[in-house]
Amino acid sequence: MLEPEIPAPRPGGRPRKTDMREVLNAIFYITHEGCTWRALPHDFPPWRTVYNYFDAWKRDGTWDRIIDILRVRLRAAAGRPTSPRVACIDSQSVKTAGGGQEVGTDGGKRVCGRKRHIVVDTMGLLLAVVVTAAHVDDAAAAQRLFAQMPSKEFYRLEGVQADNKYHNYDLYRWLRVHHRGYELVVISRAPGERRFVPLRSRWVVERTFAWLGRYRRLSKDYEHTPSSNEAVVKIAAIHHYLRRLYPVPVSESQRFRFEGHRPKHAA
């Protein structure tokens, strides 16, 4: 599925000898297992080669093209139109492991690090992602998110659901000026409600954060630059989408079963 989207080698010079399938496997391995580049197992290509491809595909938009193609295929497999009608926006503050560029403190959550802002459709599929310092206001980052969502590609989009953090008049004015074709719908709990109640389709963005949280590379922000962390988020989403398109049946786990070694009190 991904082979047609892998950029061809540049003309001239030595021919490409690296197996692109193994490069993808190595990038998915690092994203899922959370190891450093230098700790990449030796049965993969050299770590420097893998990192160079990761960085090059981040710069030329390869990850963006792949995630757009897989999102369309997943929606088609589910019987949905290619463009969503409703989307959801939210953010997540995470700690940074070793500093880097654009690091701040989220005073509300008391987290020193960065903040991931995402927009998803009602299936939880990623539409846009922006990583900023943790002190950046959600409404200010939302403008950068919506800038990644041109109306010609999301022609059916009517509304983006959000919580009270996005109730910002500057953001409303920005949407009107840029004629995005959709409106921001702020949804909050009923007055006096103190229990946890899922709000319409807004819970899907929290579920997407939970999916991404299964990838250990995203447990913290280990990247030096926000753009690299955005790429890791997209790679985790791509790996998740591939597993949804082609699920592999797994038998019941035997990890905690010890056949033939029953405890004495159960004999």
Domain-embedded: residue 16: no
Domain-embedded: residue 25: no
* Residue 46 binned pLDDT confidence (cut-offs 50, 70, 90): very high
Other beta carbons less than 10 A from residue 184's beta carbon: 20
Domain-embedded: residue 208: yes
Number of domains composing the chain:
1
* Residue 254 binned pLDDT confidence (cut-offs 50, 70, 90): low
* Residue 267 binned pLDDT confidence (cut-offs 50, 70, 90): very low
pLDDT of residue 181: 79
pLDDT of residue 103: 87
Residue type, 134: A
pLDDT of residue 198: 63
pLDDT, tens digit (0-9, with 9 covering 90-100), for 61-120:
999 999 999 999 999 999 999 999 999 999 999 999 877 888 898 888 888 999 999 999
pLDDT of residue 14: 85
Which domain CATH number covers 122?
3.30.420.10
Domain-embedded: residue 22: no
- Does pLDDT of 210 surpass 60? yes
Domain-embedded: residue 125: yes
Domain-embedded: residue 97: yes
- Does pLDDT of 265 surpass 60? no
202 in Cβ contact with 88 (< 8 Å): yes
Domain-embedded: residue 252: no
pLDDT of residue 260: 53
For the residues 211-235, what does the mean pLDDT come to?
A: 94
* Residue 180 binned pLDDT confidence (cut-offs 50, 70, 90): confident
SS3 track for the chain? CCHHHCCCCCCCCCCCCCCHHHHHHHHHHHHHHCCCCCCCCCCCCCHHHHHHHHHHHHHCCHHHHHHHHHHHHHHHHCCCCCCCCEEEEEEEEEEECCCCCCCEEECCCCEEEEEEEEEEECCCCEEEEEEEECCCCHHHHHHHHHHCCCCCCCCCCCEEEECHHHCCHHHHHHHHHHCCCCEEEECCCCCCCCCCCCCCCCHHHHHHHHHHHCCHHHCCECCCCHHHHHHHHHHHHHHHHHHHHCCCCCCCCCCCCCCCCCCHHHC
* Residue 255 binned pLDDT confidence (cut-offs 50, 70, 90): low
Tokens of 214: 């299964």
pLDDT of residue 88: 93
Of all residues in the chain, the percent with pLDDT exceeding 90 is: 61
pLDDT, tens digit (0-9, with 9 covering 90-100), for 144-167:
999 998 878 888 898 899 988 898
Of all residues in the chain, the percent with pLDDT exceeding 70 is: 89
Computed over every residue of the chain, the mean pLDDT equals 88
Look at the chain and count its residues. 267
Domain-embedded: residue 249: no
Question: Which range, of 122-131, 178-187, 256-265, averages the lowest pLDDT?
Answer: 256-265
Q: Is the entire prediction scored with pTM above 0.85? A: yes
Strand 183-186 and strand 86-95: the pairing is unpaired
105 in Cβ contact with 112 (< 8 Å): yes
Which structural domain range is residue 168 located in? 83-189+198-222
Tokens of 256: 């905690």
* Residue 262 binned pLDDT confidence (cut-offs 50, 70, 90): low
CA distance 36 to 25: 15
Residue type, 167: H
* Residue 186 binned pLDDT confidence (cut-offs 50, 70, 90): confident
